[in-house]
Structure 1
């Protein structure tokens, strides 16, 4: 009876452990396996002081099956991800240097990459691939749209390729595209310019048909200056009135 009871508890412990842990690489699984009954004891070694582990929380990612991965920066060149269901930690994936960490359990696949990003998918579903260059660039770009005094639409784009403005009709037909290398464009009496002012870049709209009335915008799309040309005296000197806006 005593032997039967000991065997039953040991089997239950093994089943419980298999149900909660994500699959580990073969080397790790072997290292974590319990000693085989009856095997000779391993030679005694001097205890090793564990190195202190400092982890800083980076982000929490929702996984494909509804569980979560809490990602931590661990040391100078590593990341760790705790896979959690509620308050229960199923596993910890460790990526150090250029290594990719991988785990799976009950059809869930989880990958922790060297840059700390986590992807997951369910068995049978398409494996998510790396983001395309176009998608990465789109995430890094910002854009603002305004309606210019002449009725054209100006779209301010700021991103890895620098600052640029795309001018189009209200119906979406392209009129002009300017940047700091090609900073000026002309269309139907209107001039559109980009001007470098110290660290700021300004967008200028000039109405040539009115003698040069101008509107100046910052790259957030806000009107910051207007210039009004007084041409009342024919042949006489023109007066330019500058007005600053908030």
Structure 2
């Protein structure tokens, strides 16, 4: 029987087919799996004085500088001296107050960590509280020393129109007694008193005399007309009333 030989050829063909199928399975592996266990490639050696090659890293944008916390306006308070405080809230437990006199900023109070802040300006004391309120008070100004009151001079005057047309004012008061002389239109001629009791004007004499008769000291104002030879008029100093008159007799 010659039947076994054909069987041997079939087996050989089967083995060839199996090998080819195995080769196909190896090629079907993913590319990544083929290099998963491969040794890492050697890194470049760094020579002395030579920097290590740069390694690419993600680019990070520059960080912007932190800005000052925003000030939140709270209220405006009037202080004891008429100035004002504008109050701002900065953050938790942080308040500030700008103090203004008119349009001029005097300064800023800052209270932090929930504690009050204190300030003083020209006698004005200010306290800024953590809740955004303020209190203020002004120091008592030193009281000025009492100035002596000016002496009130009590004076009185009696107006006399003299026979020559001029005017005399008999004045008595704290500074002594005197007679002020002037023309009818107010032009000043001079003054007489007990220290300088006589004055002569255009032939007329004016005199201030003290009459001590009857134990009394009475002031009299006397006007003498020298042009007529000595006619005279005597006036009461206090009232200005004519109390005596003397006429010089002329012989022919």
Q: Return the TM-score normalized by structure 2.
A: 0.39
- Larger strand percent: 1
Q: Return the TM-score normalized by structure 1.
A: 0.40
